[in-house]
């Protein structure tokens, strides 16, 4: 066969076949790209082919829930063996698709609330997991070897041509739609409303194949709202140690926070404790962060210069609109988030990540995997990893690099600060420090090639507990590193097995620093230090602009 | 319910005369009463805890507390409702810091 006989546009032909089948099936119920919700099953039967790779938009906040239900309601004798791609597998319907036999293969990033059922289905052979990814990895593979044939996504609104407004919760939509639309795939969108004129166009109509107005608005999870009333005094103490012992020490200006109460406590004592240390303008200026309500007091106090977000947060819309110098808003005034870009920003343009975890081992590897649950990674590993491709310098990055390299014959290079913050015991006296991560056993149970580690020990630079800070950058041997970790592991079995003399030596050298070594008065570690003590205080701090979801309104 | 008793002889630091009550008896928390009592230079600690089987951890927590403060003629009574060692140590340190300063 000569080169000229080769067919080079099979995917385009296939797309045209699918579009023709849809047009035949829907007849005149299809107006341009718009179809009524009642015909969604007919559309899916027309465009899906068994074995298709299908990306269903489930983010950690926005969910294409109407399309999920529609897919899960299909007849598995007509559509089967789909290969599903999810950022976040969050809804029961996401797993119903596998239980019913409509799909058989899965590649994903995070499964949070469904992690227990996912583990059961995997061990029952109902699904075959390709791999568990970080967000950036998964988005990357959409353009390499996991390109979707069909994408099912969610937007706030469409106009009659099929242009989309994804608004504050744009999240993963651009990455998914781009990978699908530019590879001869089909893009189906559920929207909350169809309007004549959109506030702005986030996705142009010619990337979109079909639009359906869902009977109810898509679900959004307020995942980043932390009620300050639930922050403990131990968390306040740890927040003080973080600010004085790490933020001030390294002059951290560009950073990302995890979503736990530990980091919410840090955000909430910036205007009080941070201010008293004279740190305004010196730390915490630029953030890769969702619009955390707990950040409002620090923004109002003038600590924060900019925030770029992965997604949005329910109730923050009006506050964001009123602070366009801080957040990334469009000409229409509403925010646009973008998970792929904010993850990139968090990886390459931030000098520090700080977040919590469930288990840390003696090498500093940390994992949120627990037995019987396949929870995945989400975005934390992209934040909590030294960016090996980074080339620009900053004072923070250089200082960390110098500490790690002092006395070694290596070329100068910086390093990202990766801080794990944990109380030594979690609830029910579960130790956070362990000899061996549960991840090993989970890997065995679920046949994974490697244990699911959230943050690798060689990326972790500091471990912060109520007992103090271990600076792993300054450790000069594996043994020192192990004792530094034991030295902040409190009364857990790992902590009690420390070599006391060696730990005291590490303390003398500033590798371990206790609250008293940092000159912190523990009597200040009370909830009085929180700039907002409850949800109502957050509303007040926002000048009434923050409008918390109902479940957080306790007044 | 479990009761644990510890006594440390030859303390070097005395506390203020006013007894101090800190904390609350609620889940995951504890109540601590610290008072000056003539114990011949010793410090005694009585713990009533709702969580059984943590004697070894209590011994380590209270032992370290004594090493930090070296209290003399002090009686400490703890009502514990399953507080973590982190909470116990912080409550004790916060209370004693004020009492030592007061003298």
| Window 25-84 of B, Cβ < 8 Å to A | 28, 51, 54, 57, 60-61, 82, 84
- Span A476-480, average pLDDT: 96
Q: Tell me which residue in B28, B51, B90 faces A466 most closely, judged by beta carbons.
A: B90
Q: B6 near B45, Cβ under 8 Å?
A: yes
Q: What is the DSSP letter of A466?
A: T
The backbone region for A543, taken as left when phi is positive above 0, alpha when psi lies in -120 to 50, beta otherwise, is left
- Confidence label for A185 from pLDDT (cuts 50, 70 and 90): very high
Which residues in chain B are contacts of A234 at CB distance < 8 A?
A: 84, 86-87, 90
Residue in chain B nearest A523 by alpha carbon: B94
Distance between CA atoms of residues A107 and A139, nearest Å = 11
Residue partners of B37: CB distance under 8 A and separation at least 6: B44, B73, B74, B75
Q: What is the CATH number of the domain that holds A415?
A: 3.40.1080.10
- Span A1-28, average pLDDT: 92
Structural domain of B57: 2-102
Dihedral sign for Cα atoms in the order B51, B55, B56, B61: positive
Does A453 lie in the same domain as A393?
yes
In chain A, the largest separation of any two C-alpha atoms, in whole Å, equals: 83
Q: A318: part of which helix (H) or strand (E)?
A: helix A317-321
Which residues in chain A are contacts of B51 at CB distance < 8 A?
A: 429
Dihedral sign for Cα atoms in the order A427, A429, A432, A434: negative
Tokens, residue B4: 């644990």
- Confidence label for A470 from pLDDT (cuts 50, 70 and 90): very high
- Confidence label for A440 from pLDDT (cuts 50, 70 and 90): very high
pLDDT digits (tens, 9 = 90+) for A497-546: 999 999 999 999 999 999 999 999 999 999 999 999 999 999 999 999 99
Output phi, psi for A418, to 5 deg: -125, 110
Mutation target vs A (from B49, B65, B86; most A CBs, 10 A cutoff):
B86
| A192 domain-assigned | yes
Does A284 lie in the same domain as A178?
no
Contact A491 B85 (CB under 8 A): yes
- Confidence label for B102 from pLDDT (cuts 50, 70 and 90): low
Does A118 lie in the same domain as A44?
yes
Does A312 lie in the same domain as A168?
no
Does A270 lie in the same domain as A202?
no
Contact B57 A523 (CB under 8 A): no
Does A143 lie in the same domain as A214?
yes
Mutation target vs B (from A229, A261, A491; most B CBs, 10 A cutoff):
A491
Distance between CA atoms of residues A168 and A294, nearest Å = 18
Q: A367: part of which helix (H) or strand (E)?
A: strand A366-367
Tokens, residue A478: 């594996």
Chain A interface residues (partner B, CB cutoff 8 A): 232-234, 237, 423-425, 427, 429, 465-467, 490-491, 496, 521-523, 525-526
pLDDT digits (tens, 9 = 90+) for A250-283: 999 999 999 999 999 999 999 999 999 999 999 9
Q: Nearest CA to CA, how far is A444 from chain B (Å)?
A: 32
| A548 domain-assigned | no
Number of domains in chain A: 2
Distance between CA atoms of residues B54 and B1, nearest Å = 11
Which residues in chain A are contacts of B98 at CB distance < 8 A?
A: 523
Nearest of A395, A393, A379 to residue A347 by alpha carbon:
A379
Which residues in chain B are contacts of A527 at CB distance < 8 A?
A: none
- Span A8-29, average pLDDT: 97
Which residues in chain A are contacts of B82 at CB distance < 8 A?
A: 429
What pLDDT, on the 0 to 100 scale, is given for residue A123? 84
Contact B85 A496 (CB under 8 A): no
**Angle, alpha carbons A386-A284-A257 (nearest 5°):** 55
Q: A464 near A421, Cβ under 8 Å?
A: yes
**Is B87's pLDDT higher than 60?**
yes
Contact A490 B51 (CB under 8 A): no
Which residues in chain B are contacts of A467 at CB distance < 8 A?
A: 86
pLDDT digits (tens, 9 = 90+) for A304-353: 999 999 999 999 999 999 999 999 999 999 999 999 999 999 999 999 99
Give the residues across from A35 on adjacent strands: A212
Start-to-end C-alpha separation, chain B? 35
Contact A425 B85 (CB under 8 A): yes
- Confidence label for A5 from pLDDT (cuts 50, 70 and 90): confident
Dihedral sign for Cα atoms in the order A312, A313, A319, A323: negative
Residue in chain B nearest A430 by alpha carbon: B84
What pLDDT, on the 0 to 100 scale, is given for residue A98? 97
Residue in chain A nearest B96 by alpha carbon: A523
> Which pTM does this prediction carry?
0.95
What pLDDT, on the 0 to 100 scale, is given for residue A122? 87
Distance between CA atoms of residues A354 and A257, nearest Å = 5
| A551 domain-assigned | no
CB pairs under 8 A between A and B: 44
Number of domains in chain B: 1
Output phi, psi for A211, to 5 deg: -130, 135
What pLDDT, on the 0 to 100 scale, is given for residue A2? 63
Contact B28 A424 (CB under 8 A): no
- Confidence label for B57 from pLDDT (cuts 50, 70 and 90): very high
Output phi, psi for A396, to 5 deg: -60, -50
| A462 domain-assigned | yes
**Is A156's pLDDT higher than 60?**
yes
Burial of residue A302 (CB within 10 Å: 0-12, 13-18, 19+) is exposed
Which residues in chain B are contacts of A523 at CB distance < 8 A?
A: 94, 97-98
Residue in chain B nearest A466 by alpha carbon: B86
Burial of residue A285 (CB within 10 Å: 0-12, 13-18, 19+) is middle
Structural domain of A317: 228-537
Does A236 lie in the same domain as A202?
no
Does A414 lie in the same domain as A318?
yes
**Is A134's pLDDT higher than 90?**
yes
Mean pLDDT over the full length of chain B:
92
- Measured CA to CA in angstroms, residue A551 lies from A112, A145, A535 at distances of 20, 41, 11
Q: Which of A194, A220, A246 is the last residue of a domain?
A: A220
Distance between CA atoms of residues A474 and A526, nearest Å = 31
- Confidence label for A371 from pLDDT (cuts 50, 70 and 90): confident
Q: Nearest CA to CA, how far is A431 from chain B (Å)?
A: 10
**Is A1's pLDDT higher than 60?**
no
Nearest of A147, A165, A148, A143 to residue A156 by alpha carbon:
A165
Nearest of A469, A475, A504, A516 to residue A488 by alpha carbon:
A469
Provide the 3-class DSSP secondary structure of residue A151.
Answer: strand
Distance between CA atoms of residues A145 and A326, nearest Å = 37
Does A215 lie in the same domain as A322?
no
Q: Indicate whether this complex's ipTM tops 0.90.
A: yes
Looking up tokens 């951890």 gives B57
In chain A, what percentage of residues exceed pLDDT 70?
A: 99
Tokens, residue A367: 């994992």
Q: What is the CATH number of the domain that holds B8?
A: 3.30.230
**Is A555's pLDDT higher than 80?**
no
Contact A490 B87 (CB under 8 A): no
């Amino acid at each position: 066969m000569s080169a000229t006989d080769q067919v080079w546009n099979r995917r385009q032909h296939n797309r045209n076949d699918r579009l023709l089948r849809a047009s035949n099936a829907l007849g005149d119920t299809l107006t341009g790209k718009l179809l009524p919700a009642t015909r969604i099953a007919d559309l899916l039967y027309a465009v899906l082919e068994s074995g298709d790779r299908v990306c269903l938009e489930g983010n950690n906040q926005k969910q294409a829930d109407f399309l999920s239900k529609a897919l899960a309601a299909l007849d598995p004798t007509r559509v089967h063996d789909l290969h599903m791609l999810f950022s976040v597998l969050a809804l029961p319907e996401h797993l119903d698709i596998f239980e019913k036999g409509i799909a058989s293969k899965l590649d994903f990033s995070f499964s949070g609330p469904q992690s227990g059922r996912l583990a059961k289905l995997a061990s029952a052979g109902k699904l075959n997991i390709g791999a568990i990814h970080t967000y950036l990895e998964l988005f990357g593979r959409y353009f390499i070897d996991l390109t979707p044939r069909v994408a099912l996504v969610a937007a706030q609104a469409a106009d009659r041509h099929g242009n989309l407004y994804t608004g504050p919760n744009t999240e993963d939509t651009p990455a998914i739609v781009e990978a699908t639309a530019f590879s001869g795939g089909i893009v189906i969108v559920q929207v909350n409303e169809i309007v004549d004129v959109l506030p702005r166009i986030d996705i142009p109509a010619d990337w979109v194949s079909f639009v359906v107005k869902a009977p109810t608005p898509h679900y959004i999870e307020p995942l980043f709202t932390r009620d300050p009333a639930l922050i403990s005094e131990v968390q306040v103490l740890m927040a003080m140690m973080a600010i004085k012992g790490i933020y001030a020490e390294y002059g951290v200006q560009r950073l990302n926070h995890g979503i736990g109460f530990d980091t919410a406590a840090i955000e909430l004592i910036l205007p009080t404790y941070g201010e008293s240390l004279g740190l305004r303008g010196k730390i915490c200026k630029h953030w890769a962060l969702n619009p955390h309500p707990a950040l409002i007091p620090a923004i109002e106090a003038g600590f924060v210069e900019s925030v770029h977000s992965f997604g949005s947060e329910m109730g923050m819309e009006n506050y964001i609109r009123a602070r366009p110098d801080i957040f990334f808003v469009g000409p229409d005034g509403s925010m646009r988030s973008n998970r792929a870009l904010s993850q990139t920003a968090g990886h390459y343009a931030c000098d520090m990540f700080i977040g919590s975890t469930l288990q840390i081992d003696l090498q500093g590897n940390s994992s949120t995997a627990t037995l019987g649950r396949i929870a995945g990674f989400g975005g934390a590993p992209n934040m909590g990893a030294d960016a090996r491709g980074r080339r620009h310098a900053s004072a923070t990055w250089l200082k960390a690099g110098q500490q790690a390299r002092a006395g070694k014959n290596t070329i100068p290079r910086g390093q990202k600060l990766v801080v794990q913050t944990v109380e030594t015991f979690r609830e029910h006296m579960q130790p956070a420090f362990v000899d061996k991560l549960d991840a090993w056993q989970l890997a065995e149970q679920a046949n994974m090639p490697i244990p699911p580690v959230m943050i690798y020990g060689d990326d972790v630079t500091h471990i912060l507990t109520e007992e103090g800070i271990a600076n792993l950058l300054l450790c000069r041997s594996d043994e020192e590193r192990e004792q530094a970790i034991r030295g902040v592991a409190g009364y857990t079995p790992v902590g009690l097995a420390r070599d006391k003399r060696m730990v005291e030596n590490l303390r003398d050298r500033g590798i371990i620093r206790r609250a008293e070594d940092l000159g912190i008065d523990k009597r200040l570690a009370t909830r009085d230090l929180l700039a907002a003590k409850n949800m109502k205080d957050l509303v007040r701090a926002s000048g009434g602009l923050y409008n918390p979801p109902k479940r957080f309104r306790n007044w | 319910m479990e009761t644990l008793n510890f006594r440390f002889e030859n303390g070097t630091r005395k506390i203020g005369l006013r007894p101090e009550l800190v904390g609350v008896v609620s889940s995951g928390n504890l109540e601590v009463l610290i008072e000056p009592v003539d114990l011949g230079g010793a410090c005694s600690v009585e713990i009533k805890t709702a969580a059984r089987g943590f004697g070894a951890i209590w011994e380590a927590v209270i032992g370290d507390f004594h090493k930090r403060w070296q209290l003399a003629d002090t009686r400490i009574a703890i009502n514990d409702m399953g507080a973590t060692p982190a909470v116990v140590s912080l409550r004790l340190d916060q209370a004693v810091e004020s009492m030592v300063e007061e003298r």
